C-alpha cells in the first residue's frame, strides 16, 4: 500500500484554497533600511487580509528582523530557496528547517534564476520542495519555458516535464503551489499575453489532475513575469489564475500595495 501523502505540518502556512495568493520576490535586493518598505507592505497586506494572502520573499538576511517587525500583521514571509539536503556539509546553503526556525512559512523553489545561474535541475527542485514540506514550509514551485522553447512551440511539453519531475508526488495537494513564469517574461517588462497565460494555466491544472485528481483544485497556480499595477487586474481576472509572483514591482511598497489592493478588490467582488 502506498504511503499516505505528506501533509503540511505548519498550520501557519497557506491553507485556504479559495483565496488569491500574492507573492513578492525581492531577489538579491534589500538591506536593513528596507525594513521600512517591509513594514509598509505589511500594513497593505493586513488591510487586505481575509480576502487574499500576501507573502514576501526578502533576502535571507532580512528574514529574522522582518519577522519581528510584522508580528502584528498578516503578511507572511518566505525564503527564496532552500537546500535539497536536510542538514550537513553544504557550505553556504540554508535548510528548509532553518527557514522555518527563523519564522518563514513559505519558500520559493526552482526559480529560473536558480536553475540558470546555479544549474538546478528538476530533480534537485523536487528534493527542495520535499524538504520544504517536511519542514512545515509551503513551497512555491516555479516552472516555465524559455523563449527558444516557446518559439519551437514546446511550451506545453516543457511544462509537463517540469511538473512530472520537479513536483514531489508524495506530498498532499494542500501543501504546495505552482508558479508559472515564462522565462522571457521575467524582468523584461513584457508579461505574457492573456491567452497564453490562460492556456498554460489550464495545461498545468490538467497535468496536476493526473496525479492529484479532484484534489488538485486545491493547488494554487500563480502567474509571474513582469506583473505590474497596470496589468495585475487583467491577469488575475483570467480563468485558472490563483495569484501572482511579483518581482521588480514588489520592491516598491507603493506599487506592491497597489497590486495587493487590486487583488483584494477582485477577491472581494468574487466573494459577493
Ligand atoms: P518580475 O520577476 O516581476 O520582475 O518579472 C518575477 C520573478 O522573477 O519572480
pLDDT at 16 over 70: no
Q: Choosing from 181, 201, 203, 207, which is the catalytic residue?
A: 181
End-to-end CA distance of the chain: 44
In this structure, which residue's CA is closest to atom 7 in ligand 1? 247
pLDDT tens digit sequence for 66-117: 998 998 899 999 999 999 999 999 999 999 999 999 999 999 999 999 999 9
pLDDT tens digit sequence for 207-251: 999 999 999 999 999 999 999 999 999 999 999 999 999 999 999
Q: Kindly state the cell numbers that stand for 24.
A: 513578492
State CA 174 to chain mean position distance: 14
Question: In angstroms, rounded to a whole number, what is the distance separating the alpha carbons of residues 198 and 202?
Answer: 6
In this structure, which residue's CA is closest to atom 9 in ligand 1? 247
- Which residues, in sequence order, are CB contacts of 155 under 8 Å at separation 6+? 145, 149, 182, 196, 200
* Residue 201 is among the residues annotated as catalytic for this protein: no
CA distances from 113 to 154, 176, 247 (A): 20, 20, 12
Q: Across residues 183-189, what is the average pLDDT?
A: 97
pLDDT at 15 over 50: no
Atom of ligand 1 nearest to the CA of 185: 5
Q: Kindly state the cell numbers that stand for 105.
A: 512559512
Is residue 5 helix, strand or coil?
coil
The preferred substitution site among 181, 191, 252 for testing ligand 1, maximizing ligand atoms within 8 Å of CB, is: 181
Q: Choosing from 53, 73, 97, 111, which is the catalytic residue?
A: 111
Q: Are 144 and 123 in contact (CB under 8 A)?
A: no
Atom of ligand 1 nearest to the CA of 228: 3
Cα(25) to centroid(ligand 1), Å: 7
Atom of ligand 1 nearest to the CA of 224: 6
Cα(209) to centroid(ligand 1), Å: 27
**Least confident window among 1-15, 16-30, 115-129, 134-148:** 1-15
In this structure, which residue's CA is closest to atom 2 in ligand 1? 247
CA distances from 205 to 102, 123, 172 (A): 33, 21, 15
Question: In angstroms, rounded to a whole number, what is the distance separating the alpha carbons of residues 41 and 43?
Answer: 5
Q: Using the 8-state DSSP alphabet, how is residue 49 labeled?
A: B
Ligand 1 binding residues, C-beta < 6 A: 25, 181, 186-187, 224-227, 245-249
Cα(178) to centroid(ligand 1), Å: 15
pTM for the structure as a whole:
0.94
Banded model confidence at residue 49, pLDDT cuts 50, 70, 90? confident
Q: Kindly state the cell numbers that stand for 247.
A: 518581482
Amino acid at each position: 500500500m502506498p504511503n499516505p501523502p505528506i501533509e503540511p505540518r505548519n498550520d501557519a502556512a497557506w491553507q485556504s484554497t479559495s483565496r488569491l495568493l500574492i507573492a513578492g520576490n525581492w531577489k538579491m535586493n534589500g538591506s536593513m533600511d528596507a525594513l521600512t518598505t517591509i513594514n509598509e507592505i505589511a500594513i497593505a497586506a493586513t488591510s487586505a487580509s481575509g480576502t487574499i494572502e500576501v507573502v514576501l520573499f526578502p533576502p535571507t538576511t532580512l528574514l529574522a528582523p522582518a519577522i519581528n517587525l510584522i508580528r502584528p500583521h498578516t503578511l507572511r514571509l518566505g525564503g527564496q530557496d532552500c537546500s535539497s539536503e536536510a542538514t550537513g556539509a553544504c557550505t553556504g546553503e540554508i535548510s528548509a528547517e532553518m527557514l522555518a526556525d527563523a519564522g518563514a512559512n513559505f519558500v520559493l523553489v526552482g526559480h529560473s534564476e536558480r536553475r540558470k545561474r546555479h544549474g538546478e535541475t528538476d530533480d534537485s527542485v523536487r528534493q527542495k520542495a520535499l524538504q520544504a514540506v517536511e519542514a512545515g514550509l509551503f513551497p512555491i514551485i516555479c516552472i516555465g519555458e524559455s523563449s527558444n522553447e516557446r518559439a519551437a512551440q514546446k511550451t506545453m511539453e516543457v511544462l509537463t516535464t517540469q511538473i512530472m519531475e520537479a513536483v514531489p508526488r508524495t506530498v498532499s495537494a494542500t501543501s504546495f503551489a505552482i508558479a508559472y513564469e515564462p522565462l522571457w517574461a521575467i524582468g523584461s517588462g513584457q508579461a505574457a499575453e492573456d491567452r497564453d497565460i490562460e492556456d498554460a494555466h489550464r495545461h498545468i491544472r490538467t497535468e496536476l489532475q493526473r496525479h492529484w485528481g479532484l484534489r488538485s483544485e486545491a493547488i494554487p497556480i500563480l502567474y509571474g513575469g513582469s506583473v505590474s499595477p497596470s496589468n495585475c487586474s487583467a491577469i488575475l481576472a483570467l480563468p485558472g489564475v490563483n495569484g501572482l509572483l511579483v518581482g521588480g514591482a514588489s520592491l516598491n511598497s507603493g506599487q506592491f500595495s497597489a497590486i495587493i489592493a487590486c487583488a483584494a478588490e477582485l477577491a472581494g467582488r468574487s466573494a459577493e
